[in-house]
Amino acid sequence: MTTRAFDVIVIGTGPAGEGAAMKLAKAGRQVAIVEAHNAVGGGCTHWGTIPSKALRHSIQMLADYRRNPIFQHTRDQIQVDFPDLLRAADGVINEQVRTRYRFYQRNRVEVIFGHARFRSPECIEVQRPGGAAQELTAKYFVIATGSRPYHPPDVDFSHPRVLDSDSVLALAHTPRSMTIYGAGVIGCEYASILSNLDVKVNLVNTRDRLLSFLDDEITDALSYHLRQGGVVIRNDETYDRVEAQDDGVVLTCKSGKKFKSDCLLWANGRTGNTHDLGLEAIGLTPNRRGQLDLNRSYQTALPHIYGVGDVAGSPALASASYDQGRFVGAHIADGECDWSLIEEFPTGIYTVPEISSIGRTERELTAQQIPYEVAQADFKSIARAQITGHTVGMLKLLFHRETLEILGIHCFGEQAAEIIHIGQAIMSQPGAANSIRYFTETTFNYPTMAEAYRVAALNGLNRLF
């Protein structure tokens, strides 16, 4: 077996691995990146962010078509199945793969396909798809292997009616009904997608409210619109057993409630892909969720081995993972990193309508006894929303009553994940530059959704006395 040497080996080509590899390549390091799948991009591109968001976009276009009065005479003639929508996402996935692979070629990062396993702290063996093995050594390693859906051992995921967020993307038909266990981001997104295909959805939540990390008013709005779409939401439920049968799946909860549907989508938790990497043999033991114990610089107990992305734990977002990778790349290249990751980063949840949030919620500000005021703009009063027909939603700014500092931004409605970045830019400014007055003293294009910031700011300042 031949051995090849590199400066750095990155394991995983998702956002975290790509961020690290690109930063190191730009710094002149000889970099190899190992990918267990047969194409680059990681779970983000193939099973997570890209396919589910492309699916959601197709659903939104279908809903817009059905709502548009111009097409009123033909809207009932359009019948779309779940597999049709999945095929629409294939083009996006393929283009993402081609784009990412070009990045690696252009920056002379060698892509090696196969399963990596540590033989020693300085050496990995890569089992190639054809059965051949290759030994690689490096001064530094970056583990960016992502995560997979959590599978409790008492649930039979080999049954065709029991799905997770990966296998649901291979669903070959539109089910008449589906029970989703877990009402986190993934569960809520799929509940929204499927209900817009007229699937009867039971959304079983293990907590007392949907997405409890968000502002209460936003989650109340989401609950309302899901229920308007026919979704049955059951909060504070914990599963007792899952019985997969030929004619459906029965989910029995500890409360005694039972939900029978054509399929079950398990959307409760994820596990880091650190199994079978040979980590225990070099003294690194992941926790029960497959995550690594890391310091502030994302180093393991072996300082030359780093962990980024989902294996690092929260926030486990593609955007933050890419930044973590870049941070580690700089730390390896320079021995230190003179910039730190931002503390306040936005979350984007692609339900219909979508949600985005940054900063603190009303609940948190109240608990911290911070005097705040609410500034709000309803989309139904925004001209651009009236033009597009997306009048459901609102922009909500929380600001300090005395300093006028923006403390939190919460948006519910079409393009929320885009709109949030306008406020984020102002919120990140130091001192007096972070002020809600910015939005009343600048000029926005008209008509745009960005104008909601001016409307909200005026609304909030009018509340002061």
pLDDT computed for residue 359 by the predictor? 96
Q: Is the pLDDT at 327 greater than 90, yes or no?
A: yes
Q: Which segment of 81-95, 164-178, 378-392 scores lowest on mean pLDDT?
A: 81-95
Q: What is the mean pLDDT of residues 249-253?
A: 97
How confident is the model over 26-45, as a mean pLDDT?
A: 94
21-30, 125-134, 247-256, range with the lowest pLDDT: 125-134
Contact present, 49 and 181 (Cβ < 8 Å):
no
pLDDT of 77 above 70: no
Q: For residues 3 and 306, is the Cβ–Cβ distance under 8 A?
A: no
Query: If DSSP codes are grouped into helix, strand and coil, which group holds residue 72?
Result: coil
Q: Which two tokens stand for residue 231?
A: 């979704």
pLDDT band at 55 (very low <50, low <70, confident <90, very high): confident
Averaged pLDDT, 260-264 = 97
Any idea what DSSP says for residue 299?
B
Look up residue 293 and give its two tokens: 């114990």
- Cβ-contact 264, 182 below 8 angstroms: no
- Letter for the amino acid at 7? D
Mean pLDDT check: name the lowest of 6-15, 79-88, 361-370, 413-422.
79-88
Confidence of residue 443 (pLDDT cuts 50, 70, 90): very high
> To the nearest whole percent, how much of the chain has pLDDT over 90?
81
- The span from the CA of 242 to the CA of 51, in Å, is 27
Entry pTM = 0.92
Handedness of CA 305, 311, 313, 315 (dihedral sign): positive
Residue that the structure tokens 């039971």 belong to: 202
- The predicted pLDDT at position 394 comes to 97
Give the integer Cα–Cα distance in Å for 324 and 312: 9
**Residue 150 pLDDT > 70, yes or no?**
yes
pLDDT band at 208 (very low <50, low <70, confident <90, very high): very high
Rounded mean pLDDT of 420-432? 94
pLDDT value, residue 135:
94
- Positive/negative CA dihedral, 217, 223, 227, 233: negative
CA distance 242 to 266: 10
* Average confidence (pLDDT) over 302-331: 94
What is the edge-to-edge ordering of all strands in the sheet holding 232-234?
A: 162-164, 263-266, 177-181, 200-204, 232-234
User: How high is the pLDDT of residue 76?
Assistant: 65
Map out the domains of the chain with their CATH numbers.
3-148+271-334 (3.50.50.60), 162-268 (3.50.50.60), 353-461 (3.30.390.30)
232 Cβ contact partners less than 8 Å away, ≥ 6 residues apart? 200, 201, 202, 203
State yes or no: pLDDT of 145 exceeds 90: yes
pLDDT average, residue stretch 168-196: 94
Cα 325 to Cα 106, 332, 414: the distances in Å are 19, 11, 30
Q: How far is the C-alpha of 421 from the C-alpha of 438, rounded, in Å? A: 15
The answer to whether residue 65 scores a pLDDT higher than 80 is: no
Query: Is it the case that residue 74 has pLDDT exceeding 80?
Result: no
